[in-house]
Amino acid sequence: MIPAVMTSPATFQLGTLPYGYYWLRDASGNVLGRVKVTGTDEEGYVHTSYYNITINGVPPNTTSGSLTHNETWGDQNILTGSVDVPSGDTLKILPGSTVEFPSSASLTVNGVLIANGIYVNRITFTSTGSTSPGSWGSIVLSGSGASGSTIQYANIQYGTEVDVINASNVTIRNSSITNSSMNGINFSGSTGSALNNTISNSDIYHGIIVQNGSNVTCNQNVIYKTNQNQQGAGILFSGGNGNVWQNDVDYCNWGIAAIWGSSPQFSNQNNNNKNNCITNCQIGVMVYQQSYPTICPGAGAPPNYPTIYTGAGAPYSYYMGNSIHNNSINVALNTWYSTVSSLSAEYVYWGGTPVSSMFAVGSGSSIDYNNWLSTDPWSGAPLPSASPAPGGSGVKTNQVAARVTAPQSDAQSPRITTNGSVGANMSNSEDSLLVGIQLREQDKYKEAKDYFVSFLRRHPDQQAAYVELYNCADSATIQDIINFFKSLPTQASNVQDLLLSYLYLKEGEVNSARDVNDEIISKNANTSLAVRAELNNFFIELYNENDPTSASSILKHLQTEANLSTPMELSLAEDALMTYVDPKTGKMPNLKSVQGGNKELETQLPDKAGMTQNYPNPFNPATTMSYKLSVSGHVTLKVYDILGREVRTLINDYQTAGVHSVRFDAQNLASGVYFYRLTAPGITQVKKMVVTK
C-alpha cells in the first residue's frame, strides 16, 4: 500500500510510485486505485470507508540499453531503444503487461527471460504505434545464458520474428504471433518446445523453423496464412529434429518439411487418434536429402512393441490420425534432389481414395500410402478402421523419372510396383528402426544410441539409421556419437558428414564444425551437398561468430550457385541476415554498410548486376520483372513451380548491358507460389512470386 496525504477535500498527494509495478488501468490509461478512509467519531468508535478512484498522469515505464541487474516489468513498458539482458541476469515480465517497441528496436536476451502471462491476463509485445508488419525488430533468446527461458500466454504482434539461437530448453507456448514480417519462431542450434501457439498473418514466411542441429517439440500449433498466399513452410525441419503432432497447418508452400538430415516424429503421445492436419498447401509434406520423418511405421509394426511400451495404448497408434488432403501435392519425396529412400505414410486420411498424381516421387524413391483412413480424424468422428489399398499394396515408386510430371487418374487402383511395402521393410522385423525410435521417445538416449550403433554394424548401408543415431545425442551420448561419425563406414552417404558438423556445434566446437563443412565443400565441389555445407558455414558466421559481414560474403557467393540449391533454402538464409540482431548491442546490422549497397538484399549480388522483386506481387494475372546487366551476354529468365518444374521461358537470348524488364502473364497458371531464375554473365538469382486468383 502506498501512503497518501490528503491536502484538500478532493486532492491526494501520493508517495513515490515504485518502478516496474503492475498498475491496473482503465481504457483511458488511468490507474485504478482504492482509497481507505479511517476516522474516529465523537463517541470513540472507529469507522472505515473505501472509495474507488482513478489516478491521472501515472507514466509508463520507459527504458533502453543494457540492464544492470535482475528486473521485473509490469504495467505498460515503452522502450526508447533496443534492450539487452546480459548473461546471468533475469528479466521477468508480469501477466497483463505490455512491452512497446520503437522502429527497429529488439529485445535481446543473453540471460533468462520469464514472460509468463496467464490465460485471462496475457502479455503483449507490440509496436509503439504502427500496425504494419515488421514495425519493430525481434525477440532474441541467444546463447547458453538464455537457456530455460519461457514465453507463454503472450500476444506478439507487428514485429519481425522470435529467435532462439544456441540456447537450451526454451519454451514458447500458448502464444499468438501475428503480423510478423518474416517468420514466426526460429530455433537454430537449440532445444526446446513450441506448444499450442497460433502463428498467422499475410506477410509471415515460415511458421516454425527447426534448423542447424536443433531438437524441438512442435505440438498443437495452428499455422496459417490469412491471405491464403501459400508462402513458406508451416513447420520446417532443416538439419533439425523433434516431435511434431496435432498441428493444424493451412495455406503454406510446404505444410511440414524435413530436409537435410531431419527425422521429425509424427508421434501423438496423447494417443487420442487425432494427429497433424495439413490442408490447402502447395505440398503437404516435403521430404528430401537424407531425411526420414516417421509419419506412420507401417502395418507390420504393432507386434513388435508390447515389450517396449507396457502402458495403455499401443505406440503404433501414436502415429495414426494424420489428415493430409486438399493440397496441390500431398507428399513430395526427393523431387528437388535424387536420393534413394522410402517413406511410410499409412493410416493417413488423404481426402478419399488416394490418387497417385497427388504424390510426387523422385528417382529411386517410394511412398507407401497403404491402409488409408476413410474418415477424417479431424472431423470429430471416432478414428475409423483403415481401408486397404484395392488391388495391391498402395506403394508408389518412381525408379526412373526424376519427378512425376503428368497427372494419372487411378483413384480406384493406386500405382503398384514390385519393390514391396515400405511399411513392412521399416517395421516388420527385429531390426526395425522403430525399436530405437521408441527407446529415444522414452528418453532412453543411451539405450537408443547403443541400439542404432549395433543396427549399423549389421546394416551399414541403411542411411536412415545414421540420422536416427544422430538424433540420440544428449550430454551423456554425444561424444560417443561424434566418435562414430568421425569414422563413418564407406557405405554411408556423404550427406551424413553434415550431421558430424551439427554434432560439433552441439558441443560448442565451432572450428571443428567449420572444418567439416570445408572438407565437404572441397570433396564435393559443384554439388548441392557443397552448397548445403556452405549454407551451414553461413549460419556459423552469423549465429556462432556474430559476424554478419562474413555471413553476407558467403551468401553473396551462394546466390551465384542458386541452381544447386532450392529457393526455399536460399530465402531462409536471406531472412536470417535481414532479421539478425547483434546479441551484444541488440541492434540489427546496417545492411548498407555490411553489403556495400542499399538496404535490399539484391545488393549481395555481383556489382551492378541484379534483379529486383517483381511488381505487383502477389498478382493476378500479370506482373513485371526488372533486372540490370553489367555486361552484355546470353540471358535466360525462366519460371518454375514449387516442385522445380519449368513452366515458362521468358528470355533466352543475347542482351546488351543495361536495364531490362519483361511482363509475365500467368492467366493460364493455377494460384500458388512460383520462382523465377535469372541467369546472365556474372549472376544467377532466384526470387519467388505469388499468383492469386
Question: Who has greater pLDDT, 261 or 587?
Answer: 261
Residue 250 has pLDDT above 80, yes or no: yes
**Rounded Cα distance, 324 and 249, in Å:** 10
pLDDT, tens digit (0-9, with 9 covering 90-100), for 424-444:
233 333 457 878 888 888 889
Give pLDDT tens digits for 205-232: 899 999 999 999 999 999 998 777 677 8
Q: Is the pLDDT of residue 24 over 60?
A: yes
Which residue did the predictor score with more confidence, 125 or 627? 125
- Judged against a pLDDT cut of 80, whether residue 56 lies above it is answered with no
Q: How confident is the model at residue 140 (pLDDT cuts 50, 70, 90)?
A: very high
Per-residue pLDDT tens digits for 560-585: 765 666 777 887 888 888 889 888 77
Beta bridge partners of 241: 215
Higher pLDDT, 395 or 499: 499
- The pLDDT of residue 685 is 81
At position 576, the amino acid (one-letter code) is A
Per the prediction, the chain carries an average pLDDT of 80
What was the pLDDT predicted at 429?
Answer: 39
Q: What is the pLDDT of residue 435?
A: 83
Check residues 685 and 360 and name the one with the higher pLDDT: 360
* Distance from C-alpha of 578 to C-alpha of 557, rounded to nearest angstrom: 17
Give 243-302 as a DSSP string: BEES-EEES-SEEEEEESS---B---TT-SS---EEES-SEEEEEESS---BS---TT-G
Over residues 379-384, mean pLDDT:
53
Least confident among 57-61, 71-75, 383-387: 383-387
Q: Which residues pair with 638 in a beta bridge?
A: 649, 677
Average pLDDT over every residue of 664-673: 88
Average pLDDT over residues 4-30: 59
What digits encode the pLDDT tens for the residues 348-370?
999 989 988 899 988 878 888 88
pLDDT at residue 449 in the model: 95
Q: How confident is the model at residue 590 (pLDDT cuts 50, 70, 90)?
A: low
Average pLDDT over residues 326-338: 87
- Poorest-pLDDT segment among 36-50, 405-419, 490-504: 405-419
What is the predicted pLDDT for the residue at 688? 85
- Are the C-beta atoms of residues 209 and 571 closer than 8 Å to each other? no
Q: Which of 358-362, 403-407, 471-475 has the lowest mean pLDDT?
A: 403-407
pLDDT confidence bin for 22, thresholds 50/70/90: low
What pLDDT is attached to residue 116? 97
Determine the Cα–Cα distance for residues 406 and 355; give it in Å rounded to an integer. 12
For residues 266 and 296, give the distance between their C-alpha atoms in angstroms, rounded to a whole number.
7
Question: Rounded to an integer, what distance in angstroms lies between the CA atom of residue 272 and that of residue 401?
Answer: 39
Chain centroid to CA 326: how far? 22
pLDDT reported for residue 574? 83
Cβ atoms of 212 and 189 within 8 Å: the answer is: yes
- Which is more confident, 156 or 270? 156
SS3 state at 286? strand
pLDDT band at 400 (very low <50, low <70, confident <90, very high): very low
The pLDDT value given to residue 392: 36
446's CB contacts (< 8 A; 6+ apart) are 476, 477
Mean pLDDT, residues 589-611: 48
Residues in contact with 250: Cβ distance below 8 Å, sequence separation at least 6, in sequence order: 223, 224, 225, 234, 278, 279, 280, 281
Summarize pLDDT for 521-535 with one digit per residue, the tens: 999 988 889 999 999
Q: Is 179 left (phi over 0), alpha (psi -120 to 50) or beta?
A: left
> Residue 15: which pLDDT band, with cuts at 50, 70 and 90?
low
pLDDT in tens, 109-133: 999 999 999 998 999 999 998 888 8
Q: Lowest-pLDDT range, 19-23, 137-141, 461-465, 592-596?
A: 592-596
82, 67 Cβ separation under 8 angstroms:
no
User: Residue 13 has what pLDDT?
Assistant: 60
Report which of residues 683 and 538 the model is more confident about.
538
Q: Say what the pLDDT of residue 441 is.
A: 81
Most confident range, picked from 144-158, 520-534, 594-608? 144-158
pLDDT at 17: 58
Q: DSSP assignment, residue 670?
A: P
Judging by DSSP bridges, how do beta strands 348-349 and 365-368 pair with one another? Answer: unpaired
Rounded CA separation 80/138 (Å): 15
Choose the most confident range, by mean pLDDT, from 219-233, 309-323, 468-482: 468-482
Question: Residue 288: how many CA atoms within 13 Å on its side-chain side?
Answer: 23
Sorting pLDDT into bands at 50, 70 and 90, what band is 82? very high
Alpha carbon 671 to its chain centroid, in Å, reads: 24
Residue-wise pLDDT for 171-193, tens only, equals 999 999 998 888 999 999 999 99
| Helix 528-539 vs helix 496-506: crossing angle, to nearest 10 | 10
